[in-house]
Amino acid sequence: MKNILNIEFGFNAMKKLNEHPKVRKSHTIFFVDIFFKNSFLIKEILIKEKDFLYFVDSTNELTTTDVNNVLKTIKETNNNYEVVVGIGGGTSLDFAKAISNLLTNKGTAEDYQGWDLVKTPGVYKIGIPTLSGTGAESSKTCVMINLQNGLKLGMNSNHTVYDELILDPSLAKTVPKEQFFYTGMDTYIHCIESLNGSHRHPLSDAYSNQALDLARQVFQSEDMMSDKNREKMMVASYFGGVAIANSFVGVVHPISAGLSVVLGIHHCEANCITMTAMEEFYPAEYNEFMKLVEKNQIKLRRGLCQNLSKKQYDDLFDASTMHEIPLKNALGLDFKKILTKEKVIELYKKM
Ligand code: ZN
């Protein structure tokens, strides 16, 4: 397991970026969520003349095409970039990781979708999450969808891990309530999947249990987005990311991936929608999840998979059951006997 070397934590820690020796001295690439385009945050970052600034539209999930296109533009500048900074939610953080790796490894994003395919360390990367939950700040992957073959898979590699993080809970203050919930729940779901899997060990369990405890404190409280809770959620997300870097997810993420690939639903919302059909696989967690949805007055979209075409159901089945590693982790080697096509379609119709 690779650890992150430096972590700055606390309210307004973000301001340290401008004083960062590497950022001050080198040409830097910034990936910033478009949500901040006209905000206080972007005005506070000192962008130097030869820096490269890219605003990430996180409406849709990150694709390998997005990554390849931006990589091409960056290379055309002929500048020698020594730092990549990702500021935003999972999509912005993952975008920065992918570009960092591709600046030092030849080829395109598709070439590295898989495990341990990245051979050379990427450009020095700094992650600044503005949303908590995906664990993208601490995980060793960057999730991308290949639109040609429907493959949703990241560059799983120690080289994908950030070199440095700035965890500043003041950045999540303006997040819409629903988004805060969906994203925070991603951590909760990573942990319950990891803890219910067969591929577990004391290291990942310790991180999962701590993250889960913090997430429960946040979502069971009266104001999930208070200053204290945003602090806790930021730590929970980081721990959840470390937990999952050392273990595997289970049934929720593969089924959720189907919703993302076929219906274009964003990862964290798709996970929450998937949870509504998980009673049989994670009964205690299903009950807890439904209570937390109610307590925090979150309106989940329902019935999205009711009247789809035969092709869409086929695609949902393929896009979910192709994730064999997590499904084996959750259901054993014979998971295909449990997740038959009929069964999978039934689950989607339950949502
Ligand atoms: Zn996730």
**Domains of the chain in sequence order:** 6-172 (3.40.50.1970), 177-350 (1.20.1090.10)
* Ligand 1 mean position, distance from CA 241 (Å): 9
What span, in angstroms and rounded, lies between the C-alpha atoms of 83 and 22?
Answer: 7
Q: So what's the pLDDT on residue 245?
A: 85
Residue 125's φ and ψ, nearest 5 degrees, are: -125, 140
Over residues 30-48, mean pLDDT: 89
pLDDT at position 149 over 90: no
* Ligand 1 mean position, distance from CA 38 (Å): 28
Between 40 and 111, the more confident residue is 111
8-state DSSP, 59: T
Q: 29-43, 124-138, 155-169, 191-205: which range is least confident on average?
A: 29-43
* Ligand 1 mean position, distance from CA 24 (Å): 33
* Ligand 1 mean position, distance from CA 124 (Å): 24
* Ligand 1 mean position, distance from CA 190 (Å): 6
Cα angle for residues 186, 187, 189 (degrees, 5° grid): 65
Residue 145: beta bridge partners?
63, 152
Residue 174, C-beta contacts closer than 8 angstroms, at least 6 positions apart: 39
pLDDT band, very low/low/confident/very high, at 40 (cuts 50, 70, 90):
confident
Q: So what's the pLDDT on residue 32?
A: 96
pLDDT band, very low/low/confident/very high, at 335 (cuts 50, 70, 90):
very high
How many angstroms separate the first and last alpha carbons of the chain? 36
pLDDT at position 1 over 80: no
Q: So what's the pLDDT on residue 246?
A: 85
For residue 176, the one-letter residue type is P
Q: So what's the pLDDT on residue 44?
A: 85
Over residues 234-248, mean pLDDT: 93
pLDDT at position 274 over 90: yes
Model confidence pLDDT, tens digit, residues 103-122: 999 999 999 999 899 999 99
pLDDT at position 18 over 80: yes
pLDDT band, very low/low/confident/very high, at 59 (cuts 50, 70, 90):
confident
Q: So what's the pLDDT on residue 28?
A: 97
* Ligand 1 mean position, distance from CA 139 (Å): 10
pLDDT at position 41 over 90: no
pLDDT band, very low/low/confident/very high, at 90 (cuts 50, 70, 90):
very high
* Ligand 1 mean position, distance from CA 40 (Å): 29
Residue 172, C-beta contacts closer than 8 angstroms, at least 6 positions apart: 130, 131, 132, 180, 225, 230, 233, 234
* Ligand 1 mean position, distance from CA 135 (Å): 8
Sheet holding 151-156, edge to edge: 114-115, 151-156, 143-146
Over residues 18-26, mean pLDDT: 93
* Ligand 1 mean position, distance from CA 137 (Å): 12
* Ligand 1 mean position, distance from CA 240 (Å): 10
Is-contact 161 140, C-beta < 8 A? yes
Q: So what's the pLDDT on residue 42?
A: 83
Mean residue pLDDT of the chain comes to: 95
pLDDT band, very low/low/confident/very high, at 222 (cuts 50, 70, 90):
very high
* Ligand 1 mean position, distance from CA 25 (Å): 35
pLDDT at position 307 over 80: yes
* Ligand 1 mean position, distance from CA 48 (Å): 34
* Ligand 1 mean position, distance from CA 252 (Å): 9
CA distances from 320 to 229, 247, 250, 253 (A): 33, 19, 11, 8
Helices 90-104 and 64-76, packing angle to 10 deg: 50
